[in-house]
Structure formats: structure tokens, C-alpha cells
Copies of this chain bind each other. A is one copy, B any other.
Amino acid sequence: MALLLHPGPVPVEELLGSVRTELGEMPVRVWPSIGNPRDIQFALVSRVPAGLFAELPSLRLVGSLHAGVDHLLRDPGLGATTPIVRPLPASSDTLMNEYLLAQVMLHHRNGVSYREAQAQALWRRLPIVPIRQRTVGFLGFGAVAEPAGRLLSQIGFDVAAWVRRPRRDGAVPIFDGEGGLRPLLQRSQILINLLPLTPATEDLLDASRLAQLPQGAALINVGRGEHVVECDLVDALDSGHLAGATLDVFREEPLPASSPLWRHSRIVVTPHACRRVDVSAVVAQFAAELRRVEQGMVPLRPVDRQAGY
């Protein structure tokens, strides 16, 4: 029995430290030093190379270090019955909320237009809209989005959200299903995408969806690069229909230096920097699920493979 770690961008020493704290006695292998693949019953991973899971016949549980698990679900080597778990953000993990607050406030106060004006040494005052007159829409309103929505709502923004399955949470208006997408888009002066990437959400933000946003709207994408049809976004910015966009995720990461997204005057690029892995919290959650599986139970919160998250 052994636990395989594939830390990806997570500092390996920090990860090992937390694993020792939570699972002291567990033999640990750090990729690529797998040892005998038959020993690996558990894996806690970032984005793994194709083919890795296919070599692990004894795998009983895969934990993701990140909230997005689309790459795991697309991995043909991962048996359809092997449970996957992903971390829920700890309530103390405010980094995503803070990133979204920063980006919402930037667009709310014309940050992209002022950046453009500064590049031209142009003194040009723009109308100021008070927060109470500004609507923010969330695509996806799960455990990561909801605290951010609450914060923005407390500050005074008019917050709404769109989700796949009907919900009655009450804190903010929630639209759902195919029919709910248009009304959410139509009211979102600032749109935040936090959807999981699934076949149903890939390329969701195309020309027709972006056209449903109000004139002068802004897009903040912290979901996946694959949610946005890049050339449609660039067209919507160039035509002036959208005032600006913040992109933190991309189809290819790191974003290649040749990408025109870097150079667009109305796009703010950040390098997948919205949050960082809260290592001790992630390992503690994973360890609890591992203990269950070790004892022959199913995980408490497995990823729903049908839904894709």
C-alpha cells in the first residue's frame, strides 16, 4: 500500500509535511519515483501526464489538489469506478474572494479604460456608477463562488448567479438550466465565470452568449480557458460591446508569449493567480476520505462523474 503524490506546482516539501502530519504511517512515493506500480492504492495529484493512471492497477482513490477535475475525468487510464475527490475551500481560504473583489472593483471603476487612456497620456474622466447600481453575475455558484458572491453582495453589488440544477438558496437570485442563462447574462454588467469544465460548458461563452451581456459589460474568467471562445471575446472587445475582460485561465498554460491576449489593451491577464492550493486543508480533507476508503467505505463527497464536478 502506498500513496502517490504528483505535486505539480505545489511545493513538494510543504505537501510532504502535511501528508506526514495527516497520514504519518502511510508509505509515500513522489512522482516520477513510483516504485512498484502495484503498491499505489491512493494518489493525490495535480495535472498528471497522460498514461500515468493506466499503469496503476491497484488504485482505490484519486484526490485532486485543485477544485477543477476536468483533466482527471478526461483521462482514459482512470477506471470509471475509481472514486475521485476534490478539495472544498476552507472557510479561512479567502484568496479567491479577494482576487474576485480586486477584479470586480477594477472593472467597476473603469480600470481597463483608464489603463488605455494612461498608455496614450489622455486625461479623460469617465462617468462613475455607484456600487448599488452595478450588477454582478456568477456562472457557477458552488463552494468557491458562493463566499465571493456573499462578499460582493455585502459591499453593495446586486449579485445573481446561474447554475445547472435548480436551487433555492435565497441569499442571491439564482437562475438555472438552459432557460435561465439568457436572463442572467442580460443583467450581468460584470460577469464572473466559475463553472466546472464539462462537455456542456465548453465554449459556452461564444459570440451569441457574449452578445447577451449588456453594452459595456466586463468578463472575469477564473473557470477554464476552454469556457471562452477567444476570438469571439476579442471581437466583442474590439467592437466596444464589452468594456474589458480579466483572464486568469487559458487553453494553454503558461499562456504562450505569442498569444494576442497578452497584448490586447482591454484584457487584463493574470497567470492563474486567483488562489493557491491551501495545502494543509487539502491534505486534511483528502486524508479523511482516504481513511474511509481504507475501511471499505465510499468517499463522503466523491466527484459526480455524470455532472463532471
Contact = CB atoms under 8 A, between A and B. Distances in A.
A40 to B, nearest CB: 29
Interface string A184-216: 000000000000000000000000000000000
B270 A130 contact: no
Given A94-B156, A105-B98, A105-B102, A126 B268 contact: no
A98 B105 CA distance: 8
Nearest to A263: B121
A303 interface: no
Given A114-B270, A128-B95, A257 B121 contact: yes
Contacts of A122: 257
A292 interface: no
Contacts of A287: none
Given A94-B131, A98-B130, A118-B262, A271 B105 contact: no
A91 to B, nearest CB: 13
A94 B130 contact: yes
A111 B259 CA distance: 20
A99 interface: yes
Contacts of A262: 118, 121
Nearest to A276: B128
A37 to B, nearest CB: 32
Given A102-B105, A102-B108, A102-B111, A271 B124 contact: yes
A78 B110 CA distance: 38
Given A95-B128, A130-B95, A273 B101 contact: no
Given A95-B130, A98-B105, A101-B101, 20 more contacts: A94-B132, A98-B130, A98-B131, A101-B155, A102-B105, A102-B106, A102-B108, A102-B111, A106-B111, A109-B273, A110-B273, A114-B271, A121-B257, A121-B258, A121-B259, A123-B254, A123-B271, A125-B271, A125-B272, A125-B273
15 contacts: A94-B132, A95-B128, A98-B105, A102-B106, A105-B106, A117-B271, A118-B262, A121-B259, A121-B262, A123-B253, A123-B271, A125-B272, A128-B273, A128-B276, A155-B155
